[in-house]
A and B are shown apart, each in its own frame.
Chain A
Amino acid sequence: MKAVTWQGVGRLGVESVPDPLLLRPDDVIVRTTLATVCGSDLHIYDGFIPTMQHGDIIGHEFMGEVVEVGPEVRHLEKGDRVVVPAVIACGACFFCKKELYSLCENTNPNAHAAEQVYGHSGAAIFGYSHLFGGYAGGFAEYVRVPHADVGPVKVPEGLSDEQVLFISDALPTGYQAALFAEIEPGDTVAVWGAGAVGLFSMKCAWLLGAGRVIAIDQDEQRLELARRHCQAETVNFRSLEHDGQTIVERLRDMTGGRGPDRCIDAVGMEAHGTGFGRLYDEIKTRLKLESDRPFALRQAIQACRKGGTVSVIGVYGGLIDKFNIGAAFNKGLTLRMGQLHAQRYVGMLLEKVSKGELDATFPITHRMSLEEAPRAFETFKNHHDGCCRVVLRP
């Protein structure tokens, strides 16, 4: 089969590899029908995620048709159309039983490595480095999906692939971000990052009772998506710079001095900041004294109103620096964060999509074939041609 493989920082291969096999009796094989490049794929592409190996098949946001079924699988059969959650969970461990699926104990064969780095290991993620299990990912014609009764959800007839694809990752991630923000009715919710996850968290913030949504980004075309599809007010931090105002000042002015009640960091470790802070992080990450650039997170903590919540959904992998714990402490902030507990939300979100209550197609700006993955990554990374999300069809 054809598959997209990681071949070093900024290098991808499209090559022929053996078809996947059922390796455990509760596996299925899915023939991929649609996949999408996620911001965290860029972290891999740019070399921010350690333990990638040359030849690893990448991709974690995908869907397809079940073509082979292991003997212990009960809820899926050949021919089912399914969306596959990016996170692999067993459904049986202490954490899965608490619906903390991304903390699953039983799916990462390299848990010892994650323990060295994080103290404990979380769940495996498709195509997301050996630290997260080393599972072959979804940018391939076929994918082995373990614990098939726990993850994949069947797609009802009448829904297109594009309508449901983001249920694999971006949509539930946006939902979790809004949920973790602990929104109370009428709250002002500020979202850093207007990529697909940020945009979905804006939509979900409205569902959870927000009174106002503010989007912060530097890409005017993405901010236009936020205005048009998510009814968000927008702040372009590039143009703010020209006005000599900081984001924190602007948000304070927009909220009568109080600051947004809830702040969502949907940017994560590769934030594009401005000014001195950006330079500082750039130098420290180059010197490997800091692994992540926490620009959005710092601003969110500074901007958030007293007693508010900062919800972190943009991915972080390691150490950060100049983290204003004093601001977080003295303002009595709540910080919530974590990888996506996908399995907890997929059913509910599929229902909302099928009832027409949620449109999850609007971030798709580009459609390409699997062979075009290298070009897809560059287009997505550089926001070429107004790119918000690329979908890949094998």
Chain B
Amino acid sequence: MREELKTRESSTNWASVASRIAAMALVGTAAYVLLRKPLARANAPVRLTRSITVMRPREEVYRFWRDLSNLPRFMEHLEKVTVLDDKRSRWVAKGPAEMRLEWEAEITQDRPGERLAWRSLPGSELPNWGVVHFQDLGPQRGTLVQLEMMYEPPAGHLGVTLAKLIGQNPEQQVANDLRRLQQVLETGHAATTEGQPVGKGQPAEQGRKVEGSST
């Protein structure tokens, strides 16, 4: 059931959605994507930044993130983060076909309620580092969460696995992860439809054609 749902989800071609709605605007977008694609070639370090506003107190948002074992609740490709001690942690990312990438990381800077930075330790299958800032936006305006991450895609087989793991669009992945962070903190859970009932995905010609004059 779950597998089937996943397949259905991924069969949605969001690009074609946009093109149906904004056919002409897409020409410009396509040119932009084509032009920037060479920048994301394998092995070049990838830098990702994204921010989001969460309607919870800054201290609470910081504390949630500081407990790194919470990260898999909103970072989709993390399977588990085990906190080893005050600074060190072990991260497991899940990939396609039961593939796993593992590494250990250490917290390199911790300014409670304000800023948290980490990096992977030598020997990591995925050298990476990141920093997250937390900032008050004022009464009823919530907390600004700014994330900056970098990683070095490994060469060869691992690099290919990683590309599959992170997908075509790592920026989108980070954006989705932060959105899930917002959902978890504001409502307790990330939004989902996974596991809901669905009918048969018949091809159109097998569907029941409704005849016009029925009254």
Which of A351-394 touch B at CB < 8 Å? 374-375, 377-379, 382, 384-385, 387
Residue A179 is within 8 A (CB to CB) of chain B in the complex: no
With A24-B189, A54-B203, A377-B210 in contact, do A112 and B196 touch (Cβ < 8 Å)?
no
Q: How many whole Å from A46's CB to the nearest CB in chain B? A: 12
Count of A-B residue pairs with CB < 8 Å: 185
Q: Which of B1, B22, B211 contacts A318 (CB 8 A)?
A: B22
CB pair A111–B192 under 8 Å, yes or no, is: no
Contact of B21 among A140, A317, A375 (CB under 8 A): A317
Is A20 within 8 A of B197, CB to CB? yes
Does B172 lie within 8 Å of A54, measured CB to CB? no
B212 within 8 A of A: yes
With both chains docked as a complex, state the minimum distance between the C-beta of B34 and any C-beta of chain A, in angstroms.
17
Hey, which chain A residues are within 8 Å of B53, CB to CB?
94
B12 at the interface (CB under 8 A from A): yes
Q: What sequence of 0s and 1s flags, for each residue 3-26 of chain A, a beta carbon within 8 Å of any chain B beta carbon?
A: 101011111111101111101111
**Residues of chain B contacted by A112 (CB below 8 angstroms):** 14, 172, 175-176, 179
Main secondary structure of the interface of B (DSSP, over half): loop
Q: Which residues of B contact A116 (CB under 8 A)?
A: 14, 17-18
Asked whether any CB of chain B lies closer than 8 Å to the CB of A1, the reply is yes
Verify B182–A106 contact, CB threshold 8 A.
yes
Q: What's the least CB distance linking B7 to chain A, in Å?
A: 11
**Complexed CA–CA distance, A55 and B202 (Å):** 7
- Give the shortest distance, in Å, between B191 (CB) and chain A (any CB): 5
Interface residues on A, range: 35 or more
Judge whether A54 and B187 touch: CB under 8 Å.
no
Verify B182–A53 contact, CB threshold 8 A: no
23 contacts between A and B (CB under 8 A): A7-B208, A12-B208, A12-B210, A20-B197, A21-B195, A25-B188, A51-B12, A54-B207, A55-B201, A91-B187, A92-B55, A93-B182, A93-B186, A105-B186, A106-B183, A107-B191, A109-B190, A112-B179, A113-B14, A113-B17, A130-B12, A136-B198, A378-B214
B positions within 8 Å CB-CB of A: 1, 8-9, 11-12, 14, 16-18, 20-24, 53, 55, 140-142, 172, 175-176, 179, 182-183, 186-204, 206-215
Across the A-B interface, give the 10 residue pairs with the lowest CB-CB distance, nearest first.
A7-B207, A5-B199, A8-B204, A11-B207, A55-B199, A384-B215, A318-B21, A17-B197, A54-B201, A55-B201
